[in-house]
Chain A
Amino acid sequence: MRVTNKQLLNIVTRSVATSSQQLLNAQERVASLKRINRPSDDPIGISKVLDYRKRIASIEQYTRNIASAKIQVETTVTGLEDVHALLNDAKDIAITQFSADDASGRETAAREVVGIYDRVRDIANTRLGGSYIFAGHKTDAAPFTTDVNYATTYHGDDGEINATVGEGMSLKINAHGCETFTGSGVTDGVDIFGVLKNLKDALEATVYNPADIESQVSELVKAMNQVENVMSQQSVAFKRLDQTEDYWNDLKQKFQNVLSETEDADAAQVAVELQAQETAYEMALAAASNVLKKNLLDFLG
């Protein structure tokens, strides 16, 4: 094949252009440390990358949902533990008072029961971040109000509040006033405020009637069971939230690993590639300067 000057020039220009393009690509990979820098770098890979990224973002959202749900459940359980202890105190007072006729002791006991009553109602009106947690869906107003006669009314409903803890997975995280305090809709349910009011009234009665006081003991035990049931539901929910959170944290780690495997470049490998491309580029330049310098004129006298 005849070789002409322009042919040499073309080949040199092309090889310099090709190796500088490859050098640029290698530099881009080193700078971004990513194997996929645009969809055409790996059309199938980019679709996986987007999918993994979305999954990681969703998992982060689930763990955020779980964190917020855990606070609500924890607050509920803490409140219920207090209610349980207060009911136990009321039961002890009732047992003491029906066992012995002690007029002044009954007076003090009645005041204590009023204190317990108010404390339980305050707990039932617990707010978390502006929402009343025992109000069902009616989270914007205090669910329990007490009138002068110590009759307490529930303004909330039996609405369930769910937290999304996974893809299409919801978990009830609230304990509403019906199941917890008023006992309506619950088998053997008792109205805690009614029981406490009855106890207070029995203690305040001008004529000592131990049977009236005694009859509240079994009601208080039922009330405690009612609270325990809700507490155990909530504890189960908390445990599930905890387990789900661990699950997501593990899975997030795994997705981050596969994401990295799919889109990230191996640092050592890209560094070596860059080195190789640099060498190739230098060789092309060296070849250019040598090839274009020489011709027959150098050797003619």
Chain B
Amino acid sequence: MSSIYGVLSVGKQALLTQQEALNVTAHNIANVNTPGYSRQRVMMETTAPTTMSAGQVGTGVTVSGIERVYDRYVTDQIRNENQALGRWQAEKSALEQVEVVFDETSGYGLNASMGEFWNAWQDLANNPSGQTERQMLLGAGEALAANFQQGYNDLTDIQAELDNNIAQTVSDINVKAGQIAELNQKIAQIESSGGTANDYRDERDLVVKELSGMIDITASDQDNGSINIKLGDGNLLVDNFTSNDLTTVTNASGFRDVAWASSPTVSINGSISGGNLKGWLEVRDVTIPGYKNDLETLVNGMALAVNTAHENGYDLDGVAGEAFFEGTLADNDFGVSSAISADVNKIAASGTALGVPGDNNNAIAIANIQHSLTMSGSTATFDDFYNAIVSGVGFDVQAATSSYNHQDSLVTYLENYRESISGVSLDEEMINMLQFETAYEAAAKLINTVDKMLEVLMSIA
């Protein structure tokens, strides 16, 4: 037989439960804009009924737990796709810097300065003994060499900048790994005594997601609530409550490779396949060296052809010509030979020693080098070769941009999907608030009614 105090107790339990629900609603509303937050909801259940002769009578409601609304599959997918996004984002931004070096509208205009150089030889052919023409040719040669050298040095500067990004990212990865290990500990501690550490889990998911933008990782859940993070080489970055640090090691090219702090001389670059690190490593170690190599091939080919032809000619003093260009891009000293810079009469315009000063055949021969198929196994002129480099850069930027855009759309879609499951809807919370408020009011009314009933009972006496 139910007691009147039992009703009072049901009322009290209902009040507390609705209040708890309102509390969670408040927490949801407060975190509507918090990155990585998953909305939470109160799990309510009936308390154990008492059995009476007439049957079972309910004893009210209780909070069985507070859970976060969350789809593990989407979280994993975001993590995976974010690795590729990080890679393309890094690659795209680095290549856009490279593109400026080869930009013919605002860059150094290598194509134009090559044209000016060949044309200067023709101007010299028109007046082979002219001092002005010789000075102009020297100027065109120096400008050409300086532009090539500048372009090459800019590529080296971009590599150095990427190298710094890589070192910075490695230390960021260590910080994130430390945070995950710390959160693992907190979560395990809380969850060992029952319940779920919703907010810590959200925080950890966010850190793992950020980490996935830096490097490719595999996360695996552990029984104690921890997650372990594995890198591409199979070693653990986060192992339960501890994290293993990464460090950098200087390689043969003078750039920094990624390595484990526990084995600081062994590069793990090869096992990195995603995140910013992959993008930067790829551009620093593969793409830019490729462009630099192309520039070197072009410059060496041109210097060789011009020098050979120049040595076949005779200068204004009837002396056989010397090398016109000297130095290399890699040594940062490519330029017109210092002997010619000092004395433009050393430019060999004449085809024969006796033909000096009126003979212009060597100047014509050098100007004609521009038309000869000297590059790419005798299939391309210098211009063709250079234009192909520019096109190649354009294609690379285009490919990185389209991969980035594709990946960005994918991640945005997944983020939206995650939001639609885990995000806070203020409208929904508002309705919940009304619902819990009404229930709270009704429970209060119940207590009020019991109070009145007790009053009636008391008045009997």
If the complex has contacts A14-B412, A58-B119, A136-B358, are A130 and B129 also in contact, measured as CB distance less than 8 A?
yes
How far apart are A48's CB and chain B's nearest CB, in angstroms?
8
If the complex has contacts A3-B420, A61-B119, A297-B430, are A50 and B390 also in contact, measured as CB distance less than 8 A?
yes
Q: Which of B103, B123, B360, B394 contacts A42 (CB 8 A)?
A: B394
Does A137 contact B425, Cβ atoms closer than 8 Å?
Answer: no
CA distance A84 to B125 in the complex (A): 30
How far apart are A162's CB and chain B's nearest CB, in angstroms?
6
Does B394 contact A38, Cβ atoms closer than 8 Å?
Answer: yes
Most chain B CB atoms below 10 A, which of A46, A140, A297, A300: A46
If the complex has contacts A40-B394, A44-B391, are A50 and B419 also in contact, measured as CB distance less than 8 A?
no
CA distance A208 to B105 in the complex (A): 81
Does B367 contact A43, Cβ atoms closer than 8 Å?
Answer: no
Closest to B392 in A: A43
Does B99 contact A38, Cβ atoms closer than 8 Å?
Answer: yes
If the complex has contacts A38-B103, A47-B387, A139-B129, are A168 and B420 also in contact, measured as CB distance less than 8 A?
no
Please encode chain A, from 127 to 139, with 1 for each CB lying within 8 Å of some chain B CB and 0 for all others: 0011100011111
Q: Does A7 contact B (CB under 8 A)?
A: yes
Q: Does B156 contact A (CB under 8 A)?
A: no
Q: Does A81 contact B (CB under 8 A)?
A: no
Q: Does B202 contact A (CB under 8 A)?
A: no
If the complex has contacts A6-B423, A43-B394, A46-B104, are A161 and B360 also in contact, measured as CB distance less than 8 A?
yes
Q: Does B174 contact A (CB under 8 A)?
A: no
Q: Which of B33, B126, B383, B398 contacts A6 (CB 8 A)?
A: B33
Does B424 contact A39, Cβ atoms closer than 8 Å?
Answer: no
Q: Which of B368, B412, B423, B431 contacts A5 (CB 8 A)?
A: B423
Q: Does A53 contact B (CB under 8 A)?
A: yes
Which residues of chain B are near A38, meaning CB under 8 Å? 99-100, 103, 105, 394, 397
Which of B49-57, B263-271, B335-343, B348-356 lies at the binding interface?
A: B348-356
Q: Does B244 contact A (CB under 8 A)?
A: no
Most chain A CB atoms below 10 A, which of B100, B426, B431, B434: B426
Does A164 contact B125, Cβ atoms closer than 8 Å?
Answer: yes
Does A170 contact B364, Cβ atoms closer than 8 Å?
Answer: yes
Q: Which of B105, B397, B416, B421 contacts A11 (CB 8 A)?
A: B416
If the complex has contacts A10-B412, A131-B358, are A296 and B112 also in contact, measured as CB distance less than 8 A?
no
Closest to B401 in A: A40
Q: Which of A1, A47, A69, A296 contacts B426 (CB 8 A)?
A: A296
Q: Which of A37, A168, A296 contacts B368 (CB 8 A)?
A: A168
Q: How large is the interface on B (under 10, 10 to 19, 20 to 34, 35 or more residues)?
A: 35 or more
Q: Does B415 contact A (CB under 8 A)?
A: yes
If the complex has contacts A1-B420, A131-B129, A161-B358, are A50 and B105 also in contact, measured as CB distance less than 8 A?
no
Please encode chain A, from 149 to 168, with 1 for each CB lying within 8 Å of some chain B CB and 0 for all others: 00000000101011110011
How far apart are A204's CB and chain B's nearest CB, in angstroms?
37
Q: Does B122 contact A (CB under 8 A)?
A: yes
Q: Does B111 contact A (CB under 8 A)?
A: yes
Which residues of chain A are near B114, meaning CB under 8 Å? 54
Most chain A CB atoms below 10 A, which of B130, B358, B388: B358
Please encode chain B, from 112 to 148, with 1 for each CB lying within 8 Å of some chain A CB and 0 for all others: 1011101100110111011000000000000000000
Which residues of chain B are near A293, meaning CB under 8 Å? none
If the complex has contacts A4-B423, A40-B397, A43-B394, are A168 and B416 also in contact, measured as CB distance less than 8 A?
no
Q: Which of A10, A32, A54, A139 contacts B357 (CB 8 A)?
A: A139
Which residues of chain A are near B419, meaning CB under 8 Å? 4, 6-7, 10
Q: Does B427 contact A (CB under 8 A)?
A: yes
Q: Does A184 contact B (CB under 8 A)?
A: no
Closest to A34 in B: B105
Does B358 contact A68, Cβ atoms closer than 8 Å?
Answer: no
How far apart are B100's CB and chain A's nearest CB, in angstroms?
8
- The count of residues in chain A whose C-beta lies closer than 8 Å to any C-beta of chain B is 59
Does B420 contact A4, Cβ atoms closer than 8 Å?
Answer: yes
Does B360 contact A162, Cβ atoms closer than 8 Å?
Answer: yes
Does A137 contact B119, Cβ atoms closer than 8 Å?
Answer: no
Does B387 contact A300, Cβ atoms closer than 8 Å?
Answer: no
Q: Which of A51, A137, A163 contacts B387 (CB 8 A)?
A: A51
How far apart are B370's CB and chain A's nearest CB, in angstroms?
8
Q: Does B32 contact A (CB under 8 A)?
A: yes
CA distance A81 to B360 in the complex (A): 27
How far apart are B201's CB and chain A's nearest CB, in angstroms?
18
Does B127 contact A43, Cβ atoms closer than 8 Å?
Answer: no
Closest to B111 in A: A50
Closest to B131 in A: A130
Does A69 contact B401, Cβ atoms closer than 8 Å?
Answer: no
If the complex has contacts A5-B423, A10-B416, A135-B358, are A296 and B430 also in contact, measured as CB distance less than 8 A?
yes
CA distance A289 to B130 in the complex (A): 71
Please encode chain B, from 365 to 395, with 1 for each CB lying within 8 Å of some chain A CB and 0 for all others: 0011011000000000001101110111111
Q: Does B185 contact A (CB under 8 A)?
A: no
Does B390 contact A7, Cβ atoms closer than 8 Å?
Answer: no
Q: Does A147 contact B (CB under 8 A)?
A: no
Which residues of chain A are near B125, meaning CB under 8 Å? 65, 162-164
Closest to B383 in A: A54
Closest to A297 in B: B430
CA distance A62 to B123 in the complex (A): 10
Please encode chain B, from 395 to 421, with 1 for each CB lying within 8 Å of some chain A CB and 0 for all others: 101100100000000001001100111
Does B358 contact A5, Cβ atoms closer than 8 Å?
Answer: no
Q: Does B361 contact A (CB under 8 A)?
A: yes
CA distance A295 to B426 in the complex (A): 8
Which residues of chain A are near B130, meaning CB under 8 Å? 129-130
Which residues of chain A are near B431, meaning CB under 8 Å? 296
CA distance A155 to B428 in the complex (A): 106
How far apart are B305's CB and chain A's nearest CB, in angstroms?
15
Does B421 contact A140, Cβ atoms closer than 8 Å?
Answer: no
Which residues of chain A are near B280, meaning CB under 8 Å? none
Q: Which of B115, B357, B390, B428 contacts A57 (CB 8 A)?
A: B115
Which residues of chain B are near A295, meaning CB under 8 Å? 426-427, 430
CA distance A161 to B142 in the complex (A): 27
How far apart are A137's CB and chain B's nearest CB, in angstroms?
4
Which residues of chain A are near B436, meaning CB under 8 Å? none
Does B112 contact A57, Cβ atoms closer than 8 Å?
Answer: yes
CA distance A2 to B424 in the complex (A): 10
Q: A7-B416, A43-B394, A140-B358 are in contact. List 9 more A-B contacts (CB 8 A).
A: A4-B420, A4-B428, A46-B390, A51-B384, A54-B383, A137-B352, A137-B357, A296-B426, A296-B431
Which A residues are closer than 8 A to B by beta carbons?
1-7, 10-11, 14, 32, 34, 37-44, 46-47, 49-51, 53-54, 57-58, 60-62, 64-65, 68-69, 129-131, 135-140, 157, 159, 161-164, 167-168, 170, 174, 295-297, 300
9 cross-chain CB contacts under 8 A: A6-B423, A32-B105, A43-B398, A131-B127, A139-B358, A140-B129, A162-B361, A170-B364, A300-B430
Interchain residue pairs A-B with the least CB separation, the first 4: A39-B394, A43-B394, A4-B423, A139-B358
